Chain A
């Protein structure tokens, strides 16, 4: 995925804080507004919103905090979610529907159903995850317009 290939594009960047549930969803909501103003197809908007929302929630619940960066180009939307750790122990397991390491407390809030990463994969055209135990996690996703 080469972000510099096309010069025309918009970069949107959002900081996502650890444990901050009150602000979770702000980034995806903002991204949606921008896409609407660009006249993007409503199905693409919905898929982008879901993918970025799930990424946002994952950073809030599981990480030490991170950023979501979105590049909007005439032919595609690229989303990059990056956190500062602590990394995923078994990525293959984490990709399974229903698998979650979220605490009971978080499940009581209605999160942690183990659908985050699977949904991100399901709603995007390209999905790539890189994570190491003890290090950071990066998720790169692309939706073609």
Chain B
């Protein structure tokens, strides 16, 4: 269980040790130690909630800057779906795609097209009965990691397909290598990223051995450049390739709409997703065919590395999607890719039981009893002053030897006022 790699990190000089991120972390992965936030690596699912809520911008996503392009002879930009929603509707999105040529990229690919391919395959998968219902979409890697940690019994429900990013990267690199007659090593594919979870899935992929993506550059880092270049360029090549259905995947509900089913559940916001996954785990939603869940409100278009307000961007995606029509890709082509191994996951997604107190059940029970004893001594107000998000998490930290009950500020205050009296 070693080698966790995370894109969400802390710039400690900016952190003032407040409790904003502490309280909002859905997996209780943050503690405040010595006045600074600390991320418990194995618990973090890179949902980016802390990046969003930090008032001091001390949390950020580890991403590449443009200098990484220098490491490769040929550079591909993999333009993520949410980019469609970042510009006012008057702007020609194909022209925006062309701007990437002026940021040193040699090739530009529309990732939304892979969503078109997946739409065709998922449509059939929903009709088949191989996978227990509801099928769970994996577009949001933070949700997949959440399932590994908190809902391992639902792993079987996960759709065993790669992400549009991964499918596009492989397709693009092969195409370019063939066209130029060069080795794949000379080609770098870079994802124009909307969120830290996607960046993590490049470095620590789930369901595949190794990612074809070589780096990620946040949309927010390129935004002003794109605006400037947009004004200057005239000649444009046709790059935009996706239909409205594929583009729609950028927003919550987009996958279900693309598949064209009624019997689905589309949920955004990590806390909401947790609640619905609880219901699925209880077997209460077996009558639902398809579930898509996103850590971010509004879906990928609400990712913390976007620029535009999530709701405005979501509304744009809806409008753009309907203007691009709903033509479907050739079914034969989609199945050919699937058969050639360009879409299916190759590795099993495994449960991560990182929440357990001890690997020996007897000892774990003893520790749990101790935990409850400590918890009863704590005030139960979840103030966060000790550095743990809740009194229960604090009790757990004490049992794990990571904190002392004396860290409780309320208890200390009572002690002082008691000794005064």
Contact = CB atoms under 8 A, between A and B. Distances in A.
A68 B296 CA distance: 36
Given A10-B369, A50-B282, A39 B361 contact: yes
Contact of B362 (A28, A32, A74): A74
A2 interface: no
Given A8-B366, A42-B152, A36 B356 contact: yes
B64 interface: no
B357 interface: yes
A70 interface: no
Interface in A13-43: 25, 28-29, 32, 34, 36-40, 42-43
A46 B364 contact: no
Contacts of A42: 152-153, 351
B358 A74 contact: no
A66 to B, nearest CB: 20
B150 A36 contact: yes
A45 B281 CA distance: 10
B343 to A, nearest CB: 27
A37 B357 contact: yes
Interface residues of B, number: 24
Contact of A28 (B282, B357, B365, B371): B282
A113 B368 CA distance: 36
A38 B362 contact: no
A8 B365 contact: yes
Interface residues of A, number: 25
Nearest to B150: A36
B361 A38 contact: yes
A8 B366 CA distance: 7
B268 to A, nearest CB: 21
Most chain A beta-carbon neighbours within 10 Å: one of B283, B358, B371? B283
Residues of A contacting B: mostly: helix
A29 B371 CA distance: 18
A75 to B, nearest CB: 8
Contact of A39 (B281, B282, B364): B364
B355 A36 contact: yes
Contacts of B282: 25, 28, 49-50, 53
Interface string B180-193: 00000000000000
A5 B368 CA distance: 19
Interface of A: 8-10, 25, 28-29, 32, 34, 36-40, 42-43, 45-46, 49-50, 53, 72-74, 119, 145
Given A32-B281, A38-B356, A38-B365, 19 more contacts: A8-B365, A8-B366, A10-B369, A10-B372, A29-B278, A36-B355, A36-B356, A37-B357, A37-B364, A37-B371, A38-B364, A38-B368, A39-B357, A42-B152, A43-B153, A45-B153, A49-B281, A72-B368, A73-B365
15 contacts: A8-B362, A10-B365, A10-B369, A25-B278, A34-B368, A37-B356, A38-B356, A38-B365, A39-B361, A39-B364, A49-B282, A53-B282, A72-B365, A72-B368, A74-B365
